[in-house]
Amino acid sequence: MKVAVVGATGLVGSVMLQVLAERNFPVDELIPVASDKSAGKQVDFKGKKYAVVTIDQAIALKPDLAIFSAGGNTSLAQAPRFAEVGTVVIDNSSAWRMDPTKKLVVPEVNAQVLEASDKIIANPNCSTIQMVVVLKPLHDRYKIKRVVVSTYQSVTGTGVKAVEQLMNERKGAQGPMAYAHPIDLNAIPHIDVFQENGYTKEEMKLVLETQKIMGDHSIKVTATTVRIPVMGGHSESVNIEFENEFDLTEVRHLLESENGIIVVDDPAGSQYPMPMHAHGRDEVFVGRIRRDYSQPKTLNLWIVADNLRKGAATNAVQIAEYMLAKGLL
C-alpha cells in the first residue's frame, strides 16, 4: 500500500501522519508531498525519516491512496492527475465538497455511499463533521426540521500563522497577522469570506454540506461562525427542531450508543464538553443536553471536537479504512 500525504509539512498534514501511525493504517510505502520549495525536507513517520517529494514525483510513483491537505487550488489542479493514474484521493479542502459528481463523507453518517469507482472523495468541513455525527442518530429517530448552529472555533482551524498570531499577542510581541483584528481576548464573527447573502463561506458550508451528507435537503440550517482564542478544538451551540416529539432520556441513550460520540453531561458537577478535553481525541463530545422551552419538539446541545483530528485528519483516515475494509481501495 503506497500512501501519499499531500501537504505533509502543514499543520493538518502533520496530524494526518500522526493519525495514520496511531491507527496502524497499512502504509507499506509513505510518500510525503509538499510544494516544490519544501522538497527534500524530512518528516517523521513511525520513528523513520522520509524525504518530502514534489507532486510530479509523487504522481510518477502511482500511490494507491493520496490524502490531500494542501488547499483548494492545489486540489482542483492536482487531484485529477492522481486519479488518472488510479490513485484514490481523499481531499480535505473545500474544492470538491459540493461537486455533485463527488461523494462528501463522514463514515459514521454516510459511508455506504462510497463505491469502487470513487477516485476523488471529499472530506467535509471540520465544523460540519462534528455536528452531523451527532445529528444523524437524532434525525433517524425524530426527523430534523431545522438546525440553528453557532460555532466557537479554534485558531488551529486557520493554520500555523493564526496560532503564531495568538501566541505573539499573549507575549506582547509583534508578528504576522492571520486575522484582520487581534484574536487574543477577542471573538471574531468572521470565518472565511463574506458572501452576497451576508453569510460567510464557512457558515454556508454548514448549511450545504449538512444537507448533502445527511442526504436530506429538507433540513433547514442557519449558522453563525466565530473565531475565538482557543486551541484544541471547535465548539458548537446547536438548536434542533424535530418533526416528532422526543424524550430526553432516550436522546441521551441514542447518543451514548453511537460509536465516536462521548456524552459529557453533568451540569451539577460542572461536567460538559470543552476544547481542552477534546484536544488530541478522535471522538465527538456532546453535553448541555436540554429541551428548548421556547418552542415545542426542540433540543439544545453543546458539541465539541478536535478540529485537526475528527474535523480533518481522522475523518479522512476513517474514510480510507472503510474503503479498505470493503475492498474499494
Q: What is the mean pLDDT of the segment spanning 157-174?
A: 96
* Alpha carbon distance 285, 278 (integer Å): 7
- Clarify whether 234 is annotated catalytic: yes
Q: Compute CA distances 68 → 17, 118, 157, 312, 315, whole Å.
A: 12, 15, 16, 10, 12
Q: List 236's β-bridge partners, or say none.
A: 151, 303
- What are the domain boundaries of the chain? 2-124+312-325, 127-307
Catalytic residue, chosen from 126, 139, 277, 279, is 126
Q: Compute CA distances 193 → 156, 179, 203, 291, whole Å.
A: 18, 12, 10, 34
The beta-strand segments (E) located in 172-232 are 220-227
pTM score of the predicted model: 0.96
- Clarify whether 126 is annotated catalytic: yes
Counting every residue written for the chain, the total comes to 329
pLDDT at 36: 86
Q: Compute CA distances 274 → 153, 185, 199, 237, whole Å.
A: 12, 18, 26, 12
Catalytic residue, chosen from 139, 234, 277, 279, is 234
Q: What is the mean pLDDT of the segment spanning 227-232?
A: 96
Are 69 and 7 within 8 A, CB to CB? yes
Q: Compute CA distances 47 → 8, 18, 21, whole Å.
A: 16, 11, 10
pLDDT at 90: 98
* Alpha carbon distance 201, 163 (integer Å): 21
Model pLDDT for residues 191-227, shown as the tens digit of each residue: 999 999 999 999 999 999 999 999 999 999 999 999 9
* Alpha carbon distance 306, 312 (integer Å): 9
* Alpha carbon distance 221, 239 (integer Å): 10
* Alpha carbon distance 252, 265 (integer Å): 9
Q: What is the mean pLDDT of the segment spanning 270-297?
A: 97
Band the pLDDT of 300: cuts 50, 70, 90.
Answer: very high
Look at the block and give the residue holding cell 431545522: 146
pLDDT at 117: 97
Q: Which residues have a Cβ under 8 Å from the Cβ of 140 and sit 6 or more positions away? A: none
Model pLDDT for residues 17-58, shown as the tens digit of each residue: 999 999 999 999 999 999 888 888 999 999 999 999 999 999
Query: What CATH superfamily is the domain 127-307?
Result: Dihydrodipicolinate Reductase; domain 2 (3.30.360.10)
Helix (H) or strand (E) holding 299: strand 298-305
Topology alike, domains 2-124+312-325 and 127-307: no
Confirm or reject CATH 3.40.50.150 for domain 2-124+312-325, answering yes or no. no
- Judge whether residue 175 has pLDDT over 90: yes
- Judge whether residue 267 has pLDDT over 90: yes
* Alpha carbon distance 306, 234 (integer Å): 6
pLDDT at 29: 97
Q: Compute CA distances 165 → 21, 201, 203, 229, whole Å.
A: 30, 22, 23, 10
Model pLDDT for residues 108-155, shown as the tens digit of each residue: 999 999 999 999 999 999 999 999 999 999 999 999 999 999 999 999
pLDDT at 37: 87
Model pLDDT for residues 58-114, shown as the tens digit of each residue: 999 999 999 999 989 999 999 999 999 999 999 999 999 999 999 999 999 999 999
Q: Phi and psi for 171 in degrees, rounded to 5?
A: -90, -5
